[in-house]
Amino acid sequence: MNNARFGPYFRGVSKWIGKSLPEFPGARELFALGGRTLFWGMSAPRMDVSEMTGWPVTEKEMDFYYKIAEQVMDVSNGYTKGSSFQENILNRLRYNGFPEAADVPTPADLVPTNYGQIHSDVFWSSISALAYGLNRKSFDLAVNARAVEVLVEKGKTAGIKVMSLDKKPYFLKAKTVVLSGNTFETPRLLLHSGIQGRAIGHYLTNHSFLLSTVKVSRKQFPEVLGPMSVMIPQTQSRPYQIQMGGPEGYLWYQRYEQEPLQDELSIGISAFGKVESRFENQVYLDPYKRDEYGVPEIQVQFSYSEKDKAIINQMASALTQVVSAMGASFHTTDSHPPICLMPPGSDYHESVTCRMGDDPSTSATNRYGQIHGVSGLYAADNSILPSIGAANPTLTTVALSVRVADYISNQLK
Ligand SMILES: Cc1cc2nc3c(=O)[nH]c(=O)nc-3n(C[C@H](O)[C@H](O)[C@H](O)COP(=O)(O)OP(=O)(O)OC[C@H]3O[C@@H](n4cnc5c(N)ncnc54)[C@H](O)[C@@H]3O)c2cc1C
């Protein structure tokens, strides 16, 4: 997709929930096979190890599962390899105060298609994972089936109730159920099913999110540019991550379209700030409103702490230094400030509402993703992350989800 198609298409098929969640006004859900990975930006960095202190999973074990996730998702630094634009910007940043500047790890299948081997889906989505699984073992897939309730009998999972689009109910018996509905849907289903747990729905965590567009003169770069995708990662002393991509959004770099030569190249910059995981930030069931399937809608209570706000300010001044280190200048107009603080929810990284942990009073699942006190019931999506630091969350979610699957398959042996 190019830049012009991406925005309207995503907005057309996803559901804006900001109106019903006014404290999280940027939030969008996508009900589709593949979820939001059909539209994601494909930045797949690992979380900084300092973030994992206090996690119920060790750094060594995370490394093991990160490697599996990176292999399954084809994560590499190859997407921008050989691009002079990339090398140029990286060097400028590294020599001007940001030695940790690095390529953004990107999940892209860069192997060309040959006879007998199909490599057609360059960018990874959950659908690629389903195809990967299907190559190993067949499975049944129910589409247009909305999960509406988890069935539990005497502390044991008994199955799940789903409804078809015409609202006909089906009861699927199962001793093991894994919820992967997302950070809003998974706690919603648990709470609606009467599953108790002090932490279910709590600790809602996102990234504070700054956006900028900057311009660099075309004359500074050689004729053949290539795409650029660079990040300045979170470190122990830097509680934010800065990412930049170009020209005009590197994903939709319009190499196959005729474009007049521009005098200036535009680069998009996003900065994600660490947000504390606080009990009071939560999703909960709306006592008054139900959806078309009869399931209560969710509500959200969310605010930034003083610490979160201090990080936002720190991140904004770092952005100014980054832009100067790149030899770029902010693109500003009357309606376009140099740095824009985006509304909560618009980072699409919301997580942690069913976080993993050993203590049922501060976590919804145990260290293997099993809901505390309910055997056979698991969660595996962004909601189980114990915290998210400043890195994009999806690679870590996939790594932890593979670990949940490993645990379940070991239990079944
Ligand atoms: C534009 C955009 C850019 C992004 N860029 C990045 C990025 O660069 N890097 C990054 O790490 N992350 C990025 N993200 C975030 C990333 O997409 C999410 O982290 C990831 O998709 C979350 O996975 P999830 O499984 O928790 O939820 P989702 O991807 O939302 O998947 C939930 C799935 O559950 C299904 N579902 C929900 N409720 C039910 C129900 N009741 N019954 C049946 N099915 C149900 C939905 O249909 C969907 O398929 C981006 C997101 C967007 C929208």
What are the pLDDT digits (tens) for 151-188?
A: 999 999 999 999 999 999 999 999 999 999 999 999 99
92-149 pLDDT, tens digit per residue, is 999 999 999 999 999 999 888 888 877 777 889 999 889 888 888 999 999 999 999 9
* Percent of the chain surpassing pLDDT 70: 97
Q: Find out whether the beta carbon of 193 lies less than 6 Å from any atom of ligand 1.
A: no
Instruction: From residue 10, give the alpha-carbon distance in Å to each of 51, 211, 256.
Output: 31, 19, 22
The pTM score is: 0.96
Q: Closest Cα to atom 49, ligand 1: which residue? A: 35
Report the Cα–Cα distance between both ends of the chain, in Å, rounded.
44
Q: Is 282 in the pocket of ligand 1 (CB under 6 A)?
A: no
For the CA of 392, the closest atom of ligand 1 is 11
Question: What pLDDT score does 252 carry?
Answer: 62
Q: Which atom of ligand 1 is nearest to the CA of 162?
A: 42
- CA-based nearest residue to 151, from 100, 179, 193: 193
- Please give the structure tokens belonging to residue 376: 């056979």
Q: Cα(228)–Cα(106) distance, rounded to whole angstroms?
A: 12
Residue 24 tokens, joined: 């999280």
- Give the number of the atom of ligand 1 that is nearest the alpha carbon of residue 380: 25
Ligand 1 mean position to 328 CA, how many Å? 33
How far does residue 340's CA lie from ligand 1's centre (Å)? 24
How confident is the model over 219-241, as pLDDT tens digits?
888 777 888 999 999 999 999 99
With H, G, I as helix, E, B as strand and everything else as coil, classify residue 229: strand
Distance CA 280, CA 156 (A): 29
The mean pLDDT of 390-406, rounded to a whole number, is 98
Spatial neighbors of 372 by CB under 8 A, at least 6 apart, are 197, 360, 363, 364, 365, 366
Q: Which two tokens stand for residue 53?
A: 């202190």
360 half-sphere exposure, CB direction, 13 A CA radius: 8
Residue 226: exposed, middle, or buried by beta-carbon count in 10 A (0-12, 13-18, 19+)?
buried
SS (H, E, C) 240-252: EEEEEEECCCHHH
- Mutate which of 29, 161, 192, 394 for ligand 1? The one with the most ligand atoms within 8 Å of its CB, which is 394
